[in-house]
A and B are shown apart, each in its own frame.
Chain A
Amino acid sequence: MENYLLSAIVLIPIIAAILIMLMPEKEVLGPRVMATSAALLTVALSVVAYVLYDPSNARNYEVNIPWIEGLGMQYHVAADGVSVAMLLLTSITIFTGCLISWEIKERHKEFFALLLILVAGVFGVFIAFDLFLFLVFYELAVLPMYLLIGIWGTGRREYSAMKLTLYLMLGSALLILPIFGLYVQAHAATGVWSMDYDFLSSNFRLDEHWQSIFFPMVFIGFGTIGGLWPVHTWSPDGHASAPSAVSMLHAGVLMKLGGYGIIRIGLQFMPDGAQDWAFFFACLTVVNIVYGSLSAMRQTDMKYIIAYSSVSHLGLVTLGICTLSVAGINGAVYQMFAHGIMTALLFALVGVVYGRLHTRDIREMGGLAKIIPFTATAFVFAGMTGLGLPGLSGFVSEVLVLTGAFSAGVIGMPSPLLKYVALICLTGVVFTAIYVLRAMQKMFFGEPTEALITSKYYITLRDTDIREKLALGVLMAVIVLAGAYPAWLVNLINSGLAHGVFPVLGLSGF
C-alpha cells in the first residue's frame, strides 16, 4: 500500500485535471475546488511520505514495473531524502498557488487543468528512477508553461512564452545526447539495454573522456531551467509575463528541476567530469549571484525584481553543487527548498498587490503598509528571508553553501581558488539587502505617491481575505519551520545524498 504513495501523488493531479476538463463550461466553483483539494491531497500525501520515510533505506516506496521491455525502460519510482524534500516543496507550492489563483475568470477550466498537468510532471521528475521516465516527466512539466503564459499572461506574453519554451526546449535538447549516450554506451559495455537509474549507476561507469564531454552538456542543459547565467535570460521575461500562480510554480519549483537534475544525473553519472568542470561553472555562478542582484537593484517592476533575485539566489544552488562538498551540496538542496518557498511567497504577494492596484511599478506605490498591513508584513518577512536573516530559511542555505565553498580545497576538491569565488559571492548578499530594502521602502513605507492616490483602485484597496491569508500563512510557517529548526530538513536531505551522490564523489555525509 505504502509503495503506491508516490504513484498516487503523480496521478491525483492528472485525474483532477481530466475531471476539471469534463466539467461544464459554466461551472465556476468546481474547477477551483477540485484543483485546490487535489493539491491539498498531494500536500497530505507528501507529509505522509515524510513521516514514513526511512533514512536508512536508499529507495523508499519503490515501485519498479517494466514499461517498454524491448528498450529496457521501466516505470521505476522511488524516493530518497532529496525527493521527499522536493515533494514537500512542490505540493505546498501548488496548494498555495491554487489558492492564490482562485480569481482567474477567463478560461479557468483550462487554467487549472494545465496547472495540474504541469505539477504532475514536476512530481514525476522528483520520483523517477528511470532516466527515460525522468525525461518524459521533465518535458511534461516544461510545455504547459507555454500555454499558461501565452493565454493568461500579461504584457509581452506571447514573446515571453515563446522565448521561455524555446530556451527550455534547447536546454532539454542538451540533455538528450548525454542521457542516450550513457544508455548506448552502457549497452555496449554490459550488453543490456537499460535506462534504469540503479542499474546504470551500479553496473556501468562512463570513461573519463566521455564524462568530461557529457557533464557540461548536462550542467548547461539543466542550468538553463535552473537559471544559470548566461542562459537565464528567459526567466525574468517569463516571470514578468506569467500569472501569479504560474510564477510561483515556475520560480518555486520548476527552476529547481535544474539543480535536482544536475545532482541526480550529472554528479551521479559523471563525477570525474564534474571535477574537471566544477571550477569553471562555479565562476559562472558568481556572475549569477552578483549580476542577478545588481540587475534586481535597477528594476522598478516588482516581478522583475523578484525574477532577478531568483537568478541571484539560484546561483547559490549551482555554487553549492560546484563545491562538490558535503556542506555545499546539502546547502544547494536546502536552498532549492528554501528559495522555492520564499519565492512562492513573494510572487503570491506580487499577485495580491497587482490584483488590487493593477500596477507593478514600485515608483507608483508608497505607504501601503498602513492600508494593507498583512500584505506588507508578509512582504517584509519574505524580504528578510531573502536577505538571509538568521532564524529564517535563507540564512541556513547561505551558511551551508559558503561553508562548502570554503571547505573546498581543504579536502582537495575541486580547487583552492573556490574560496575567492565564494568571497565575491558574499558581496551578492550585500546587494540583496540593498534591493530588498529599497523595494520595501518604496512600496510600503513613506507617503503614498501622487500616482497611487489618483489611481482609481486606491479607494477600494483592502487587505488580504481569509483565503489569501491562508496561502501566505502556510508559506510563512514553512519558512520559520525550516529556518528556526533546520535539522529536520538537513537530515532528510543528507540521508538522501548519503545514499546517492556522496559515495560516488568519495564523500561521506554529515
Chain B
Amino acid sequence: MSNELISSLHHIVVTPEFILLLAGIIVLIVDAFDGDRRPWLAPCLSLIAFLLAALLMIGFPESHGRIFFQAYTHDTLADIMNVLFLASGVMTVLSGWNYISRWAGESGTFYGLVVLAVMGMMLMVSASELLTLFVAVETTTIALYILSGYFKREKWSAEAGIKFVILGTVFSVILLFGMVLVYGATGTTVFTEMVSGAAKSPFPGSQIVFFGGMILILAGLIFKITAVPFHFWAPDAYTGAPTPVTAFLSVASKASGFGVLIRLFYGSFNEVPGLQSFLIVLLVALAGATMIVGNLMAIPQKNIKRLLAYSSIAQAGYMMIGLSAFSEIGMSSILFYLAQYVFATFGIFVVCIIVYNHDQSDDLTAYEGLSKRSPFVALVLLVCLLSLAGIPPLAGFIGKVYLFTAGLDKGHYLLVTIGILTSVVSVYYYLLILKRAYIEKGHRQDVLTVPHAERLALWIAMAGVILLGLLPGLVVDRVQMTGEFILGLIK
C-alpha cells in the first residue's frame, strides 16, 4: 500500500499546483507583516508564481499521467485549462494592481486569494474522482466568495458577496448530494469506472439513481458556468464584485466549470446511449435558452458590468453548443472558444477599470467620447467587443463558427440557428457601447491616463484577440489533440 502510494506520487505532475499553494500562503504571510511598507510585493510575488507554474507546465510536457489512485489526471486537457487559469490569474493581478489598492486600501490578501483560487481551479479540472473534485470546487469557491465581497465597507460589494455565498452554498450541497447518489449507485467515485459500476450494481434501479445523481451534479456545474436556469446569481454578483474579480469570475470560474463538465461527461459517458441522448436533449435545450436569455437581457442594461454579466451568460450558451455535441470537435471548439474568451473579456474589463478609476462610474454614459479621451483604450474596447460579437478577422469569429460547426456536425441545426440569430442581437448591444465610445461626444474631455500594469494588460488582450484571429492554428492544433486524447481514453 505505502509502496504503491509512493510510486504513484509523480511529484512533478503536481509541482505547478504546489508552487501556487506555497505562493498563495507566502503572499498572505508577507502581506500580513510587510504589506504596508511594500505594497508591490504581493502582486509581484503572485505574478512570479503564475509565470513559474506556467513555465514548469510548458517545460515538462512529459508530466502527463494519472496519479493518486486515479484521483488526479494530468493530460492535455488539464494543460490547456491550466494555461487559461494562469493567464486569467496574470490578467487579474495586472488589472487589480491600481484598482484594488486604490479602492480597498489594503490589497495583499486579494492577490493571495487569487493565487489560491487559480490553484483550486487547476485541481478542479485535473480531479478525476468525485471527492477530489468536491474539495477542489470548495477551495475555489471559498476564495471566490471572499474576493467578491472584497470591498467589505461598501454595501454593494458586501451584498454581492453574501448573495454569492448563500446561493453558492446551496449549489455546493446539490453537487454533494448528486455525488452521494452516484457513489451509492455505482460503488465508485472514479469518473471512468462509474458507468461500469452502475451496470454491475446488484441493486435494482441503481441506473436511475445514477442518472439522478448525474443530473444533480450537472445542476451544480451549470451554476458555475452561469447557464440557464441557474444563471440568476451572475448579474448581481458580477455587478457588485470588484471589477477584476468580475473578470476573473466570468472567465476563469466559467472555464473551470466547463473543464469539469468535459472531464466528467466526455470522459465517462461516451458509451451510455440512454444517458447520453438524454443529456444531449437537455444540454441543447439549456444552451438555446441560455443564449436567448443572456442576449436579450443584455440589451436594456445601463451598467456596463451588468451588461457584460448577461453577455457572459450568453457566451456560456454558445459554449454549450459545443458541449451538447459530445464529439471531438465539440470539445476542441469549447477549448478554443475559452482561449480567445480570456483575452476578449479581460480586455473589456480592464477598460472598465480604467474608466472607473477616473470617473468612479460603471454607467454606460461614462464611456461617451472615450475615443477622444484615449484612442488606445477605445481601440482595445472596439477590438474586444467585436471579437465577442463574432466579427472577423478577430478570434471570436473563429471561436463561434468552430462551435457552430460542432453543432451542425451533430445535426443540431435549430440550436445553431438560435446561436447565429442571437449573435446578431449581441452585435446590437455591443454596438450600443461602441456608439457611446466612438460616435457620441461626452461631457468629460480629460485625457485618460493608463498606468503601466493596465497598459500591459490591454496590450496582452488586444494581441491575443488579433493573433488568435489571424493564426488560430496555434491553438486549434493543440485543442484537437486534446479531443482525440480524452475520447480515446474511453474507447
Which residues of A are at the interface with B, using a C-beta cutoff of 8 A?
A: 67-71, 132, 135-137, 139-140, 143, 146-147, 150-151, 158, 161-162, 165-166, 169-170, 173, 176-177, 180-181, 183-184, 187-188
Contact = CB atoms under 8 A, between A and B. Distances in A.
27 contacts: A67-B473, A69-B473, A70-B473, A71-B405, A132-B401, A135-B392, A136-B393, A136-B397, A137-B392, A139-B391, A139-B392, A140-B391, A140-B392, A150-B435, A150-B438, A151-B438, A158-B435, A165-B431, A166-B427, A166-B428, A173-B420, A176-B401, A177-B416, A180-B408, A181-B408, A184-B409, A187-B409
A71 B423 contact: no
A7 to B, nearest CB: 14
B421 interface: yes
B431 A68 contact: no
Interface string B388-426: 000111000110011011001100010011001101100
Given A68-B398, A183-B405, 6 more contacts: A70-B477, A136-B392, A143-B386, A150-B438, A151-B438, A170-B424
Contacts of B421: 170, 173
A135 B404 CA distance: 14
A128 to B, nearest CB: 12
B476 A68 contact: yes
B480 interface: yes
A173 B476 contact: no
B397 A184 contact: no
Nearest to B416: A177
B431 A184 contact: no
Nearest to A167: B424
Contacts of A161: 439
B472 interface: yes
B424 A166 contact: yes
A177 B427 contact: no
Contacts of A187: 409
A151 B420 contact: no
Nearest to B476: A70
Contacts of A162: 428, 431, 435
B77 to A, nearest CB: 17
Interface string B421-445: 1011001100100110011000000
B476 A150 contact: no
A121 B187 CA distance: 59
Interface residues of B, number: 31
A176 B404 contact: yes
Contacts of B408: 177, 180-181, 183-184
A169 B424 contact: yes
A136 B398 CA distance: 9
Contacts of B393: 136, 140
Contacts of B431: 146, 162, 165
Nearest to B477: A70
Nearest to A165: B431
Contacts of B420: 173, 176-177
A173 B424 contact: yes
B433 to A, nearest CB: 12
Contact of A177 (B409, B417, B435): B417
B427 A165 contact: yes
B439 A151 contact: yes
B83 to A, nearest CB: 18
Given A150-B438, A181-B408, A68 B424 contact: no
A139 B480 CA distance: 27
Contacts of B427: 165-166, 169
Contacts of A140: 391-393
Specify which of B408, B434, B438, B480 lies most central, judged by the most chain A CB atoms within 10 Å of its CB: B408
Nearest to B469: A136
Contacts of A147: 434, 438-439
A459 to B, nearest CB: 32
Contacts of A166: 424, 427-428
Given A146-B431, A162-B431, A180 B401 contact: yes
Contact of A150 (B386, B401, B423, B439): B439
A173 B404 CA distance: 12
Nearest to A147: B438
B477 A69 contact: yes
Contacts of B423: 173
Contacts of A69: 473, 477
Nearest to A171: B424
Contact of B391 (A71, A143, A151, A184): A143
Nearest to A151: B439
Contacts of B413: 177, 181
B330 to A, nearest CB: 12
A290 B138 CA distance: 68
A68 B409 contact: no
Contacts of B409: 184, 187-188
A161 B432 CA distance: 11
Interface string B318-335: 000000000000000000
Contacts of B480: 70
Interface string B245-273: 00000000000000000000000000000
A135 B431 CA distance: 20
A71 B406 CA distance: 11
Contacts of A132: 401
A68 B439 contact: no
Given A69-B477, A150-B439, A180 B428 contact: no
